[in-house]
Amino acid sequence: MDFDEDVIKARAIGAVSPGSKGECRGSELSPVRSVRRPIGSAAALLIAGVIAAPAVALPADFVYLHNIDPTIIQDIRYAGSNNFVGRPLRGYEAGECIVMSEVARRLKAIQDELRPRKLSLKMLDCYRPSRAVAEMMAWAQNGVETAAERRYNPALARADLFRLGYIASHSGHSTGAALDVTLVDLAADNSAVFDPSKAYADCIAPAAQRAPEGSIDMGTGYDCSDVKAHTAANGITPAQRRWRNELVAIMARQGFVNYAKEWWHFSLPGAGAIAYDFPIQPRHK
């Protein structure tokens, strides 16, 4: 399906969009540059204005995070059904974190700092193909919402998500310089797994009632479109506040900037400018 790049409205987990609130003002990624190529070859654009890279090789300066630091836990949520659309998104052919090499180097430094404390980063989303952004746009325009999808925006109508800054026209994830991350206590029991047949409570419910995250309780589930998910939100416990502050601080020491409406979203200002659309494929062993 073809989409007009000017009307793509993707869920703003680090979106970059003039006139919207996709990133913190004054600390945004560089604007996403549109680069056009002729249609009709293996490198043809799938979405106007977005680079389509070769099917196997990564573009220059992109790496698989596992190859840089295999100890960083990965739970790439859009590669499975445990996400707000309830299915794998287009372009997520493998649950692999791909980022720009500079981003990977800094994440490794953070992991090195966490390791002596028996903590680990856990990547929830990294590079996001623009075809997945387009699929999110289609979801946002569809007024039909299942109970499972409603868990992710319990207090908001889907039509309000763009106005309130949860949806924007471009995603910084497609540049490889934005990511979604949380912390894992390696000494805790993280064995609970997501069961798609189970009716979990919504994303602002107590952790024991929400879908299991396998990570430290930050006060809401991942991808929660709610004021409680704002990084500085009220209504969370002192422990949840401490862990949010810890995540922001340790990421900031390596130059990452948090998006104020999502405690899990960070970007590296100036590291990425072009939105890509190559698929996420299994890395070569």
Which of the residue ranges 52-56, 65-69, 225-229 would you say has the lowest mean pLDDT?
Answer: 52-56
CB atoms within 10 A of CB 57: 9
Residue 35: the pLDDT is 36
Over 50: is that where the pLDDT of 28 sits? no
Pairing mode of beta strands 257-259, 178-185: unpaired
What is the separation of C-alpha 151 from the centre of its chain, rounded to a whole number of angstroms?
Answer: 17
Confidence of residue 169 (pLDDT cuts 50, 70, 90): low
Contacts 24+ apart (CB under 8 A), 237-242: none
Give the span between the Cα atoms of 171 and 36, in whole angstroms: 18
Whether 87 contacts 152, CB under 8 Å: no
Confidence of residue 203 (pLDDT cuts 50, 70, 90): very high
Confidence of residue 162 (pLDDT cuts 50, 70, 90): low
Over 90: is that where the pLDDT of 21 sits? no
pTM: 0.80
Give 76-120 pLDDT, tens digit per residue.
Answer: 999 999 998 889 999 999 999 999 999 999 999 999 999 999 999
Give the span between the Cα atoms of 215 and 188, in whole angstroms: 9
Residue 158: the pLDDT is 64
